[in-house]
């Protein structure tokens, strides 16, 4: 029988046990922070030389300023080399992701108020972004699509990709995806050193305005430390899924439960149900899947260390538990998910119904799979077009408008002891008085 932890929401110690389960350390131990700080400093000071030294140490191949870049021609070569089935799948995913993100585009707007001021907002894309694509335990062409396409839809002119290449081996499907979705330039580097290169620039790698995309704990710590030099999307931790079910096929539910566990030993999978017999059946089905899955060792470590099977008395309690967890992925495997949906306040992505496994969202549904983790869905959202744009406020004022609102502005400036502020308004007020 599985060693997955079981919790009962009716027990007095439930909240304490749930909080203990959620208190995983994901990326920010002092040892990691110190290592990363040194890497960032060295790349900032020594550019390509430091970047290639770390690449040789961590990825096991000798890079130079001459071979660190992956040319567009090499991406095109990969696109032509992958199978027709690969190209068809990438094109389908790309089209669906693009169509969804087109709906996120924002328009400029203006309005004129009763005082005579015209106020508005102007949307402009970032000039350049850096996409971090994981390439350690697995390679993820889907991450290329999910990061590059919304940037492209937003109008970003330069999209730079970095991807680790252990032992110097390039992943053809990752390069094919980069070619398809318009990556401008790509570099065969990863880890904290790649984040440093994107943030500060080197002789070969240009600095960018924002860095997006998930990575390991060193990448997450590096993104945290370079924020301010450039923007970042979020601090992405290990993947998470919560499945809430009131019935359904145990084999399906167990596969959904394991879908994120196979990513990483630090990933977290939680199954919630009002039906104890269903929980038992899912636990048995989990064992059957683990007996045959290629990444079973990773998945087992994940679910036995960080996973849980939770019994709740009713779906209202399930919603309360979900909102406390604020999961990256939430499956509502319910006969009528719309009953529970209005009660869900915190989740990165919600999959409603029995026929929408999380994996559809990872690849072809359309919404972005770069999502807030580690309870940050309480205040953060999925990556989207809005992450690649800026909003500038616009203010226009007539002489009449200054006469109407200017006295209050001058008064507040005086009250704050900022006489030059006040003077700039009062000079204009004098001018309007002569009319």
The residues annotated as belonging to the active site are: 328-329
Residues near 122 by beta carbon (within 8 Å), at least 6 away in sequence: 108, 391, 392, 393, 394
CA neighbor of 186 nearest in space, from 199, 170, 166:
170
DSSP label of 353: S
Distance between CA atoms of 330 and 319, rounded to whole angstroms? 11
Query: 């636990």: which residue's tokens?
Result: 283
Asked whether 157 and 128 are in contact (CB, 8 A), the reply is yes
CA distances from 94 to 28, 91, 100, 364 (A): 34, 5, 10, 8
With 0-12 / 13-18 / 19 or more C-beta atoms within 10 angstroms meaning exposed / middle / buried, residue 30 is exposed
- Six-digit token pair at 430? 């004098």
Helices (H), 209-271: 217-226, 250-259
- Six-digit token pair at 385? 């077009």
Distance between CA atoms of 242 and 350, rounded to whole angstroms? 10
For the chain, the distance separating the N- and C-terminal CA atoms, rounded to the nearest angstrom, is 88
Helix (H) or strand (E) holding 96: helix 84-102
Query: 């994940």: which residue's tokens?
Result: 302
Q: Taking the alpha carbons of 132, 137, 141, 146 in that order, is the dihedral positive or negative?
A: negative
CA neighbor of 255 nearest in space, from 143, 360, 115:
360
- Six-digit token pair at 274? 């009002």
- Six-digit token pair at 285? 């089905």
CA angle 371/149/106 to nearest 5° reads 85
DSSP label of 127: S
């Amino acid at each position: 029988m599985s060693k997955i932890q079981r919790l009962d929401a009716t027990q007095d110690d439930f909240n304490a046990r749930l909080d203990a389960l959620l208190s995983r350390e994901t990326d920010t131990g002092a040892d990691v922070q110190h290592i990363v700080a040194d890497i960032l400093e060295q790349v900032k000071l020594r550019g390509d030389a430091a970047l290639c030294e770390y690449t040789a140490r961590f990825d096991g191949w000798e890079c130079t300023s001459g071979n660190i870049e992956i040319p567009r021609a090499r991406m095109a070569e990969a696109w032509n080399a992958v199978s027709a089935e690969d190209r068809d799948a990438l094109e389908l995913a790309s089209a669906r992701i693009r169509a969804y993100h087109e709906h996120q585009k924002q328009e400029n707007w203006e309005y004129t108020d009763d005082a005579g001021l015209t106020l508005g907002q102007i949307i402009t894309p970032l000039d350049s972004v850096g996409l971090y694509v994981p390439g350690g335990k697995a390679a993820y062409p889907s991450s290329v699509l999910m990061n590059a396409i919304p940037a492209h839809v937003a109008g970003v002119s330069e999209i730079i990709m970095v991807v680790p290449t252990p032992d110097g081996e390039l992943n053809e499907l990752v390069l094919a995806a980069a070619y398809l979705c318009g990556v401008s330039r790509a570099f065969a580097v990863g880890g904290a050193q790649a984040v440093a290169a994107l943030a500060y620039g080197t002789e070969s790698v240009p600095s960018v305005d924002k860095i997006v995309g998930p990575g390991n704990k060193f990448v997450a710590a590096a993104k945290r430390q370079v924020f301010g030099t450039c923007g970042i999307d979020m601090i992405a931790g290990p993947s998470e899924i919560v499945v809430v079910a009131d019935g359904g096929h145990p084999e399906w539910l167990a596969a959904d439960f394991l879908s994120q566990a196979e990513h990483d030993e630090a990933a977290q999978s939680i199954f919630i149900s009002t039906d104890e017999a269903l929980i038992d059946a899912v636990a048995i089905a989990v064992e059957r899947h683990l007996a045959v899955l290629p990444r079973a060792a990773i998945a087992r470590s994940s679910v036995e260390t960080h996973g849980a099977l939770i019994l709740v008395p009713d779906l209202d309690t399930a919603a309360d538990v979900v909102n406390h967890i604020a999961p990256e992925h939430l499956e509502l495997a319910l006969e009528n998910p719309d009953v529970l949906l209005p009660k869900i306040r915190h989740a990165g992505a919600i999959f409603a119904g029995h026929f929408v496994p999380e994996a559809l969202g990872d690849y072809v549904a359309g919404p972005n799979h770069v999502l807030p983790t580690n309870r940050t869905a309480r205040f953060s959202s999925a990556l989207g077009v809005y992450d690649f744009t800026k909003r500038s406020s616009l203010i226009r004022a007539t002489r009449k408008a200054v006469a109407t609102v200017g006295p209050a502005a001058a008064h507040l400036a005086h009250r704050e002891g900022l006489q030059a502020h006040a003077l700039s308004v009062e000079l204009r007020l004098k001018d309007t008085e002569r009319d």
